[in-house]
C-alpha cells in the first residue's frame, strides 16, 4: 500500500488529482488544508478524503508516506512541508507527481492558448467513445465525463493538458515543462498584453523550451496559421517529426457543418473556424496513437463541446 499525502488538498487541481490517485488500487490518500469550498468538500467526502479538521497537522507526516504532494500555494514554511523535509520524504509538486504517475506511458501533451482545452477534451472524448484505455488530465468537462483526472496501471497512453502558468516553486518552472511529451500539440500562442519586450520574449521562450524537452523522436503537431508558433518550428531538433495543421475545408448546409475528408464530407456538431482547427489538431494527435481517420470522424461527429 502506497500512502500519499496532499498538502493543500482543497485546490481545484489538487483535489481532482487526489481523487484520481485514491481510485487506484494499493494507494491510500490523505490531505490537509486551511480552506476548502463546500463543493470541493462534498467531492472529497464522497471518496473519504475530506480532512476531519481544517489546518496543518505535522503529525500526519510520518515515515510511512511514499510521497508528499505540495500545491503551488504552499509556502516553504508550511509546518507539514517542513516535517516532510525533516524526515527526508519524497516531495513532489503537482506537475512533478503527474509525471511520476505517467512516466512509463506515452505522454500526449496539449499546450498553447485557450484552445488547448478544447483539443484535449476532443481527444479524451474520442478515446472514451472508442473504448481505448488512457490516463488523462484536463481542465474542461463535457457530457459523459465523470472525472477530469484519470490514472491507472494498465493504460499505455496519458493525455495531459499542459498549462503554461508558472509555479512559484522550483525556479518558477512552467507546469508543462515537467511532462516531457512523446507527442505534443501546440495551438496558437497569445502573447501577454501590455508587457515589455523582455517579458514577451520570456513567455514565448517557455514554448520553445517545451519543444526542446520532448522525448527523443517525438511527434510535434503545431498550428501553422500562427506566426509565433511557425517561428518556433523553423529549427527543430533533427529527431523530431512535425505535422502542421490549420483550418480544414468545410461547408455549412442548412446550418450543419461538414468537414471535407479524403473520402467525403463528414458532419460535425462543432462550428466555427477555431473549433474546426481544434478538431484537426485532435485528429492528427489521435492518429499518432493508433486511431484511424475513419474511427475519429465517426465518433467526433457527436461531440458538442466543453
Instruction: Please report how the helices 293-300 and 115-129 are oriented relative to each other, as an axis angle in degrees rounded to 10.
Output: 100
Instruction: Kindly state the percentage of the chain with pLDDT values over 90.
Output: 84
Amino acid 172: pLDDT: 62
Report pLDDT digits (tens) over 150-170: 999 999 999 999 987 654 444
Domains along the sequence of the chain with CATH: 2-89 (3.40.50.720), 99-300 (3.40.1190.10)
Distance, CA of 221 to CA of 183 (rounded, Å): 8
Q: How wide is the angle at C-alpha 161 spanned by C-alphas 155 and 163, nearest 5°?
A: 145
Residue range 92-96: mean pLDDT, rounded: 95
Distance, CA of 146 to CA of 143 (rounded, Å): 8
Residue range 121-142: mean pLDDT, rounded: 96
Amino acid 51: pLDDT: 96
Distance, CA of 209 to CA of 211 (rounded, Å): 5
Checking if the pLDDT of 132 tops 60, the result is yes
Report pLDDT digits (tens) over 244-256: 999 999 999 998 9
User: What's phi and psi for 248, nearest 5 deg?
Assistant: -70, 155
Distance, CA of 265 to CA of 134 (rounded, Å): 29
Amino acid 272: pLDDT: 86
Question: pLDDT averaged over the chain?
Answer: 93
The residue behind cell 512523446 is: 182
Picking from 145, 156, 175, the residue whose alpha carbon sits closest to that of residue 108 is 156
Lowest mean pLDDT among 22-26, 54-58, 268-272: 268-272
Decide if 4 contacts 27 (C-beta within 8 A): yes
Amino acid 72: pLDDT: 86
Distance, CA of 71 to CA of 201 (rounded, Å): 27
The bridge status of strand 106-111 relative to strand 183-186 is parallel
User: What's phi and psi for 221, nearest 5 deg?
Assistant: -110, 120
Amino acid 169: pLDDT: 44
Residue range 13-17: mean pLDDT, rounded: 95
Decide if 51 contacts 40 (C-beta within 8 A): no
Residue range 262-283: mean pLDDT, rounded: 93
Distance, CA of 129 to CA of 122 (rounded, Å): 10
Residue range 116-132: mean pLDDT, rounded: 97
Report pLDDT digits (tens) over 80-93: 999 999 999 999 99
Amino acid 170: pLDDT: 47
Predicted TM-score of the model (pTM): 0.93
Amino acid at each position: 500500500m502506497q500512502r500519499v499525502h496532499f498538502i493543500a488538498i482543497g485546490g481545484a487541481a489538487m483535489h481532482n488529482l487526489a481523487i484520481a490517485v485514491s481510485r487506484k488500487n494499493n494507494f491510500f490518500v490523505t490531505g490537509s488544508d486551511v480552506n476548502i469550498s463546500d463543493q470541493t468538500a462534498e467531492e472529497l467526502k464522497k471518496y473519504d478524503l475530506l480532512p476531519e479538521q481544517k489546518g496543518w497537522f505535522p503529525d500526519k507526516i510520518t515515515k510511512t508516506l511514499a510521497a508528499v504532494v505540495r500545491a503551488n500555494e504552499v509556502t516553504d514554511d508550511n509546518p507539514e512541508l517542513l516535517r516532510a523535509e525533516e524526515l527526508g520524504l519524497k516531495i513532489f509538486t503537482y506537475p512533478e507527481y503527474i509525471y511520476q504517475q505517467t512516466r512509463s506511458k506515452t505522454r500526449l501533451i496539449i499546450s498553447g492558448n485557450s484552445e488547448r482545452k478544447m483539443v484535449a477534451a476532443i481527444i479524451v472524448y474520442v478515446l472514451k467513445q472508442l473504448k481505448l484505455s488512457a490516463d488523462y488530465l484536463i481542465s474542461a468537462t463535457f457530457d459523459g465525463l465523470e472525472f477530469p483526472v484519470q490514472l491507472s496501471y494498465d493504460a499505455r497512453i496519458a493525455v495531459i493538458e499542459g498549462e503554461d502558468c508558472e509555479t512559484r516553486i522550483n525556479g518558477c518552472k512552467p507546469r508543462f515543462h515537467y511532462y516531457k511529451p512523446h507527442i505534443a500539440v501546440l495551438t496558437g500562442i497569445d502573447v501577454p498584453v501590455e508587457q515589455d519586450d523582455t517579458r514577451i520574449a520570456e513567455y514565448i521562450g517557455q514554448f520553445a523550451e517545451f519543444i526542446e524537452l520532448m522525448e527523443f523522436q517525438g511527434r510535434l503537431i503545431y498550428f501553422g496559421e500562427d506566426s509565433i508558433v511557425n517561428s518556433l518550428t523553423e529549427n527543430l531538433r533533427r529527431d523530431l517529426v512535425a505535422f502542421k495543421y490549420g483550418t480544414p475545408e468545410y461547408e455549412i448546409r442548412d446550418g450543419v457543418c461538414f468537414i471535407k475528408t479524403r473520402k467525403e464530407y463528414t458532419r460535425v456538431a462543432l462550428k466555427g473556424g477555431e473549433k474546426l482547427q481544434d478538431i484537426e489538431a485532435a485528429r492528427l494527435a489521435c492518429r499518432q496513437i493508433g486511431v484511424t481517420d475513419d474511427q475519429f470522424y465517426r465518433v467526433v461527429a457527436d461531440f458538442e463541446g466543453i
